[in-house]
Amino acid sequence: MLLEKVKQTITKHKLIDYNDTIVLGISGGPDSVCLLHVLNELKEEYSLKIYAAHLNHKIRGIEAQKDAIYCADLCDDMKIPCFIRAIDVPKYCQENGLSIEEGARILRYNMFFEIKEKVNATKIAVAHNLDDQAETVVMRIMRGTGLDGLKGIEYKRDNTIIRPLLDIKREEIEKYCYDNNLNPRIDYTNLEDIYTRNKIRLKLIPYMEENFNPNLKESVCRMANLLRDDSDFIDNEANKAFDNLCEKESERTIKINTQTFSHIHNAIKNRIIRKCISFVIGDLKGIEQKHIEDVMALIHTEKNDLKINLPKGLILYKKNSSIIFTDEEIKSESINYTYKIPKSGYIKIKELNTLVETKILNKEDINLCSDDKYTKYFDLDKISGELEIRNRRNGDKIKALGLGGTKKLKDIFIDFKVSKEERDKVPILCDQKGIMWVVGYRMSEDYKIDTNTKKVLRISIKKL
């Protein structure tokens, strides 16, 4: 019965392919022993090559030594090659500031992947079961989680790590071991309620089953499977949005446009942010929901030229209408340029890759109703001396049209939310008297067209 259920799980979730080579993590406990026996039974049907891998964590003293001996003997009986390694997990955890559970998991998977490379394996099989799934989901609910957390443990990850027992209850596994005379080892620390997971397993879930739902574990796992489908759909939509919205500037720098981003649903926004972070630092370890909220706050603030630092060297910059995710300091280079402008003709500003076009016209030939902010008309007789176009200078002021007085360029840039890095790129049109036009933003009162105007100078600025 259990063998058939495992085969159904394998088929439904496409866990195993014909001719796979599998590294199987074996602790000596019922779950991994059951999985080893099951895959050995299916070996000929799927033409599998199986290797076992056991890690002695050096936590349980002589009992851990017995676990290793048991695994070696069991694999020998099944004619399955077995790799055994001993690592001082408590020492590793102390040196790296990790909990025993987290440190043991990291070292265990490091070993699995190392063996996978050594034997040229295609899959890594681990023995999580239905009870593990229910405990994981309940634990995540208690800690507070989103949809990704509620979908629980994946049947398959990165098409490499597979969990064929995820639909099998622990009591079924124990019966299978008994029926097949496997005599697995028992880790009695699993019966001590000193860890959060053990408390959930030994106290909370039995209490909930007794008082609320005798089929609690099955119900929780069914919920996780339903939510996994929903999460997968949203992930697919997020991937499309990520590809459309995000501009990859280098291998470790990516940029999103905040204006386009603001129109996306929040469920997609969160995933795009996480994908941007993963792009820069490789994964989401150390990134918490509060960090995602910090990014969202940065995106939605009206302020510019902001910077925040997140864990693992991640840096976020807000510049104009963009958020830049990177792990490098961005230093802006100042731009300096000055060009003499003819009153009729063309000139290129190479620093901005921009063309300036000037033309003298009769007053009656112009369209003052145009709302093109990069084309302006000036009274030719009010212009004094030669024209020049340049970048800003300290102390620059303009008698801005319609404002009734002079105003510093710095204040104009602040009003229009122009970032400090972009301000040097804004062309400033001048004559010998002063500033005529802050291109794209403000024109001077002193050069406006009036009833006495006869000749007009039209100036247009175009990006090449």
Query: For the residues of 291-323, what is the DSSP string, one character each?
Result: HHHHHHHHHH-S--SEEEE-GGG-EEEEETTEE
Report pLDDT digits (tens) over 317-340. 888 788 999 998 877 667 889 999
Both tokens of residue 121? 């394996």
Q: How much is the pLDDT for 188?
A: 64
61 is in an annotated binding site: no
Sequence ranges of the chain with CATH classification 3.50.40.10: 338-463
Residue 463 has a CB neighbour count (10 Å cut-off) of 8
- Rounded Cα distance between 379 and 39, Å, is 88
pTM of this structure:
0.68
31 is in an annotated binding site: yes
Q: How much is the pLDDT for 194?
A: 58
Angle in degrees, 0-180, between the axes of helices 2-12 and 170-179, rounded to the nearest 10? 130
Q: What distances in angstroms separate CA 257 from CA 18, 271, 322, 427, one per listed residue?
A: 46, 15, 5, 24
Q: What distances in angstroms separate CA 418 from CA 257, 303, 406, one per listed residue?
A: 15, 10, 19
User: What amino acid is encoded at 433 in this protein?
Assistant: K
Region 217-245: what's the mean pLDDT? 93
Question: Among residues 51, 110, 41, 113, which one has the least CA distance to residue 82?
Answer: 51
Both tokens of residue 11? 């088929």
Region 349-375: what's the mean pLDDT? 87
Total residue count of the chain as it appears in this document: 464
8 Å CB contact between 450 and 382? no
Domain 338-463 is found in CATH 3.50.40.10: yes
Q: How much is the pLDDT for 277?
A: 94
Beta bridge partners of 414: none
Q: How much is the pLDDT for 368?
A: 75
Q: How much is the pLDDT for 18?
A: 95
Q: How much is the pLDDT for 64?
A: 87
| For residue 358, pLDDT beyond 90 | yes
On average, the pLDDT of the chain sits at 91
Sequence ranges of the chain with CATH classification 3.40.50.620: 2-221
- 272-276 — which CB contacts under 8 Å span 24+ positions? 272/238, 272/241, 272/242, 272/245, 272/246, 275/238, 275/239, 275/242, 275/246, 276/242, 276/246, 276/325
Report pLDDT digits (tens) over 233-244. 999 999 999 999
Report pLDDT digits (tens) over 7-47. 999 999 999 999 999 999 999 999 999 999 999 999 999 99
Region 190-214: what's the mean pLDDT? 85
Question: Among residues 122, 50, 55, 119, which one has the least CA distance to residue 79?
Answer: 50
Residues 221-248, buried b or exposed e (16+ Cβ, 10 A)?
beebeebbeebeebbeebeebbeebbee
Q: How much is the pLDDT for 333?
A: 67
Residue 159 has a CB neighbour count (10 Å cut-off) of 11
Report pLDDT digits (tens) over 390-413. 999 888 999 998 887 899 999 998
Region 86-106: what's the mean pLDDT? 89
32 is in an annotated binding site: yes
| For residue 421, pLDDT beyond 90 | no
Both tokens of residue 8? 């159904």
Q: How much is the pLDDT for 193?
A: 62
Beta bridge partners of 18: none
Q: How much is the pLDDT for 262?
A: 87
pLDDT higher at 99 or 368:
99
Report pLDDT digits (tens) over 255-314. 998 888 988 998 899 999 999 999 999 988 888 888 999 999 988 887 777 889 999 899
- Rounded Cα distance between 401 and 404, Å, is 7
Give strand ranges (E) for 106-216. 123-125, 156-157, 161-162
What confidence tier does 145 reach under pLDDT thresholds 50, 70, 90?
confident
- Rounded Cα distance between 130 and 31, Å, is 11
| For residue 111, pLDDT beyond 80 | yes
**Alpha helix segments (H runs only) across 144-215:** 147-150, 170-179, 196-199, 205-211
8 Å CB contact between 177 and 30? yes
pLDDT higher at 177 or 417:
177
Phi and psi (nearest 5°) for 202? -90, -25
Degrees to nearest 5, angle at CA 241 with 235 and 244 = 145
**CB neighbours of 191 closer than 8 A, spacing ≥ 6?**
198, 202
345 is in an annotated binding site: no
Sequence ranges of the chain with CATH classification 3.30.465.60: 251-326
Report pLDDT digits (tens) over 115-128. 999 999 999 999 99
Both tokens of residue 339? 């060009």
8 Å CB contact between 160 and 115? no
% the chain with pLDDT above 70: 98
Q: How much is the pLDDT for 211?
A: 96
Question: Among residues 408, 383, 417, 389, which one has the least CA distance to residue 304?
Answer: 417
8 Å CB contact between 325 and 254? yes
| For residue 189, pLDDT beyond 90 | no
Question: Among residues 66, 38, 36, 67, which one has the least CA distance to residue 52?
Answer: 36
- Assign a CATH topology to domain 251-326: 3.30.465
What confidence tier does 190 reach under pLDDT thresholds 50, 70, 90?
low
Region 60-64: what's the mean pLDDT? 85
- Assign a CATH topology to domain 2-221: Rossmann fold (3.40.50)
Residue 460 has a CB neighbour count (10 Å cut-off) of 14
Both tokens of residue 150? 């509620």
CA 388 distance to own-chain centroid? 47
Q: How much is the pLDDT for 405?
A: 86
